[in-house]
Amino acid sequence: YYQITIDHKQITVPEGTTILEAAKLVNIKIPTLCYHPDQSIKANCRICLVEISGKDDLVAACSTPVWEGANILTNSRLVRDMQKGVLELILANHPQDCLRCIRNGNCELQNLCEIFHIAKSNLEDEVDALPVDDSSPSLARDHRKCIKCNRCIEMCQDVQGVSILSHAHRSIKYNITPAFERNLMDTLCVFCGQCSSVCPVGAIYEKDDTDKVWEAIDDPKKHVIVQIAPAVRVSIGDAFGMAPGTKVTGKVVAALRRIGFDKVFDTDFTADLTIMEEGSELLHRMKDHGILPMITSCSPGWINYIEGHYPHLLRHLSSCKSPQQMFGALSKTYYAEKIGLDPANIFTVSIMPCTAKKYEASREEMISNGYREVDAVLTTRELARMIKTSSIDFIGIEEEEFDLPFGISTGAGVIFGATGGVMEAALRSVYELATGTALNNIEFTDVRGLEGIKEATVVINDQPIKVAVAHGLSNARKILDYIDNGQCDYTFIEIMCCPGGCIGGGGQPIGSTLAVKEQRIQGIYAIDQDMPIRKAHKNPAVLKLYEEYLGTPLGHLSHKLLHTTYRA
């Protein structure tokens, strides 16, 4: 332990504590910009400079460990002048069009400018005008706004292991970009959007599709329906200052009706349907010596990854479309028939925690009955903006229920939103469908939580079945390498692209730290626990859909509408 002094306050801290961490212990907030609580220390923005008293020396608080007798000043004249100077240098190379920026009001650089009262930079705005890359349906990059903090690179290289974003050039031309300054669409980017969720400014962000949705809502000829993904109900509250993990399902439903959607449905319904199809596919492969392990196919960033990086393993993927697309397919067929509308006049929107879902909806395979299955995908962040634009008091709005027939779901559907949830939901059903006996303990806790790769063994008809769950693409890669090396004895694997699963999706409210993700996961399992039905194959609306329309799981119509193929 070391005895140190910060701003004349004495404290004792363990060896290895940084000045930034020590200051936090005595409630002193040193400004930061490149620092992120879940990432490595980068120390490249220099905004956290502090003074070492008596030495006329400045050090970066985020990267400097304390020492015995250290006497640190965080609020001296020198510190304030230097911090403000650093900020002005960053601003000299940053467009000052905050009013038109997607991160206006939610930008770490803008916040610091407010704190330092920077009304106008003393330095001229020197920004060069590289064009905005809006080549992909998921993400846009505005090079001019990048402050070179490197958070996106760490996310892309270390956490996701896809290494699309990297450094280029030196000095004034130094840039963060894909190789050869290509557009994202011309790379193997998986569109997970994890870069956008750690970007402190508006340099990389979700493609905004809200105008498209407003246009459809305002068109009297269009019947506009919407589905909400499992993870959105425990995250959108963050955007309105609610505690992370708070369940706001009924409020989102009410808000969507106020916005003007004609029907409000639940993706959890088609998550249950996915279990019927995927569970049946697994049992079929196990019985008929099909390709094993079978791997889940509902996370679109994961699909992009395996298609781009491990195409020789595509036969391991389940052929099921994701719940988003199953919903879309049914909306243009079964639902259109049921309500007697021409599918050309049905506009289907989904609210997803995910930027890759925008790309998924745009794939040419995702056509049913001659129509695009999902017409527009909004991330949680975009929906929050629409709710604000509509002057809705989200915290005060009274809860409402989903519409029928796609509003009935089970606990199995909602846990899709957390890593391990699809596996747990599948096991709850596969066990009962295979054995014909009731499963008493339905909580498979071995596959829950934030550990990168989780394993479990389940005995079905006296046969031990080994399963695994991975989230975050660098963990997915380890599993794929086991399969490649012939070391894999798993029968079924769940892979989700984003760390934490969809609750940690790249389209979730800004500030989705590890601590926030943990709270969202608790929120998801709490909803499951409160549900009257917790097994997908017991969902009465799903059973009715098979009876009335689809026939049987893996049957002809199910195959046509609910399954897909992949691109090598």
Distance CA 56, CA 52 (A): 7
Using CB under 6 A, which of 224, 306, 352, 408 touches ligand HC0? Answer: 352
Q: What are the Cα distances from residue 252, in Å, to 20, 186, 207, 388, 408? A: 38, 36, 22, 12, 16
Token representation of residue 12:
């004792």
Identify the three-state secondary structure at position 348: strand
Q: Is the Cβ of residue 33 or residue 352 nearer to ligand HC0 in the bound state?
A: 352
Specify which residues 456 forms β-bridges with.
Answer: 467
Part of the chain binding ligand HC0 (CB under 6 A), chosen from 52-60, 201-209, 416-424, 529-537: 416-424
CB of 348 to ligand HC0, least distance (A): 13
Q: Other CB atoms closer than 10 Å to residue 101's CB: what's the count?
A: 20
Using CB under 6 A, which of 371, 394, 416, 525 touches ligand HC0? Answer: 416
| Active-site annotation holds for 357 | yes
Q: Is the Cβ of residue 162 or residue 271 nearer to ligand HC0 in the bound state?
A: 271
Using CB under 6 A, which of 193, 244, 343, 417 touches ligand HC0? Answer: 417
| Active-site annotation holds for 135 | no
| Active-site annotation holds for 502 | yes
In contact, 164 and 153? CB cutoff 8 Å: no
Buried b (16+ CB within 10 A) or exposed e, 437-457: eebeebebebbbebeebbebe
Q: Is the Cβ of residue 17 or residue 539 nearer to ligand HC0 in the bound state?
A: 539
Binding pattern for the stretch 290-329 against ligand HC0, x by CB under 6 A and - elsewhere: --------xx----------------------xxx-----
Candidate list 206, 278, 373, 424, residue with the active-site label: 278
Part of the chain binding ligand HC0 (CB under 6 A), chosen from 112-120, 347-355, 424-432, 477-485: 347-355
Q: How many helices (H) and strands (E) does the chain have?
A: 19, 19
Candidate list 280, 299, 318, 558, residue with the active-site label: 318
| Active-site annotation holds for 307 | no
Site residues for ligand HC0, 141-200, by CB under 6 A, read none
CB of 378 to ligand HC0, least distance (A): 11
Residue keyed to tokens 């995702």:
366
Q: Is the Cβ of residue 274 or residue 348 nearer to ligand HC0 in the bound state?
A: 274
Site residues for ligand HC0, 239-298, by CB under 6 A, read 267, 271, 274, 298
Question: How long, in residues, is the chain?
Answer: 568
Token representation of residue 190:
């998986």
Part of the chain binding ligand HC0 (CB under 6 A), chosen from 67-75, 191-199, 228-236, 438-446: 228-236
Token representation of residue 506:
């790249």
Buried b (16+ CB within 10 A) or exposed e, 50-80: bbbbeeeebbbbbbbebeeebebbbeeeebe
Part of the chain binding ligand HC0 (CB under 6 A), chosen from 84-92, 163-171, 244-252, 353-361: 353-361
Q: Is the Cβ of residue 145 or residue 535 nearer to ligand HC0 in the bound state?
A: 535
Binding pattern for the stretch 361-400 against ligand HC0, x by CB under 6 A and - elsewhere: ----------------------------------------
Distance CA 198, CA 508 (A): 11
CB of 425 to ligand HC0, least distance (A): 9
Distance CA 112, CA 24 (A): 18
What's the alpha-carbon Rg for the chain, to the nearest Å? 25
Using CB under 6 A, which of 505, 506, 523, 553 touches ligand HC0? Answer: 505
Part of the chain binding ligand HC0 (CB under 6 A), chosen from 63-71, 223-231, 387-395, 532-540: 223-231
User: Residues in contact with ligand HC0, total (CB under 6 A)?
Assistant: 21
In contact, 165 and 156? CB cutoff 8 Å: yes
Distance CA 204, CA 211 (A): 19
Using CB under 6 A, which of 230, 237, 279, 506 touches ligand HC0? Answer: 230
H-helix or E-strand containing 205?
strand 204-206
CB of 345 to ligand HC0, least distance (A): 24
Strand order in the sheet with 2-6: 9-13, 2-6, 71-73, 49-52, 57-60
| Active-site annotation holds for 365 | yes
Does 412 participate in binding ligand HC0 (rule CB under 6 A)?
A: no
Part of the chain binding ligand HC0 (CB under 6 A), chosen from 101-109, 125-133, 450-458, 497-505: 497-505
CB of 274 to ligand HC0, least distance (A): 6
Taking CB positions, which residue lies at the least distance from ligand HC0?
502
| Active-site annotation holds for 281 | yes
Candidate list 114, 126, 365, 547, residue with the active-site label: 365
Identify the three-state secondary structure at position 204: strand
Q: Is the Cβ of residue 137 or residue 200 nearer to ligand HC0 in the bound state?
A: 137
In contact, 518 and 243? CB cutoff 8 Å: no
Q: Is the Cβ of residue 193 or residue 202 nearer to ligand HC0 in the bound state?
A: 193
SS (H, E, C) 417-480: HCCCHHHHHHHHHHHHHHHCCCCCCCCCHHHCCCCCEEEEEEEECCEEEEEEEEECHHHHHHHH
Nearest to 357 by CA among 207, 489, 257, 555: 207
How many whole angstroms from its chain centre is CA 235? 10
Candidate list 502, 517, 535, 558, residue with the active-site label: 502
Does 501 participate in binding ligand HC0 (rule CB under 6 A)?
A: yes
Q: Is the Cβ of residue 234 or residue 479 nearer to ligand HC0 in the bound state?
A: 234
The residues of the shown chain that bind ligand HC0, judged by CB under 6 A, are 229-231, 267, 271, 274, 298-299, 322-324, 352-354, 357, 416-417, 422, 501-502, 505
Annotated catalytic residues are 278, 281, 298, 318, 357, 360, 365, 502
